[in-house]
Amino acid sequence: MKWILVAVIVACNACSDLLNTSGMRAHGEVHDFRPQALRRLAASLARNPRIMLAMVAMTIAFFALMALLSIAKLSFAIPATAASYVIEIVLAKYLLREQINWRRWAGAVLVTAGVVFLAQ
């Protein structure tokens, strides 16, 4: 059961980050952080289907993490779900057409390893 939950968390994290990135690119760059502009941003994001789907995926990931933490140790849950870093870099390369050079690959691997160590 715990590996099913890990798979759900990794898949939902990856989906939410990809959808958020894709949705925000469609929205356009955000530079204005005055209160009025933030209200307009919130209204615009609420009408953005990719962002809304991303929020659904984030919610599922959150509750799956809560369920995982109720049956597994934190030192298992966090490293197991850190796999999403590398998976998301691969998906960013092929789905979002990002250029991933050696520094980014190395950085993603180091961060994943770091999260695994940090959670021990």
Partner 1 sequence: MPDSQAVEAPRPIKPGTSIPLFGLVLAVIAANSAGNFALRVGMQQVGRTVSLSPIPYLAAFLNGWVVAGVILLIAWLILQLSLLSRADLGFVLPVTSMANTIAALLGAFVLLEPVSRSGWIGIGLISIGAILVGQTESRTDGGGS
- What is the rounded CA–CA span in Å between residue 14 and residue 88? 6
The residue among 56 and 114 lying less far from partner 1, judged by its C-beta, is 114
The residue among 9 and 50 lying less far from partner 1, judged by its C-beta, is 50
Tokens 């991303």 locate to: 54
Three-state secondary structure along the chain?
Answer: CHHHHHHHHHHHHHHHHHHHHHHHHHHCCCCCCCHHHHHHHHHHHHCCHHHHHHHHHHHHHHHHHHHHHHHCCHHHHHHHHCCHHHHHHHHHHHHCCCCCCHHHHHHHHHHHHHHHHHCC
96 binds partner 1 (CB under 8 A): yes
Tell me how far, at minimum, the Cβ of 61 lies from partner 1, in Å: 14
Within 38-67, the residues that bind partner 1 by CB under 8 A are: 38, 40-42, 44-45, 47-51
101 binds partner 1 (CB under 8 A): yes
110 binds partner 1 (CB under 8 A): yes
Number of residues that bind partner 1 (CB under 8 A): 56
Which residues form the interface with partner 1 (CB under 8 A)?
A: 17-18, 20-21, 23-34, 37-38, 40-42, 44-45, 47-51, 70, 85, 88-89, 92-93, 96-101, 103-104, 106-111, 113-120
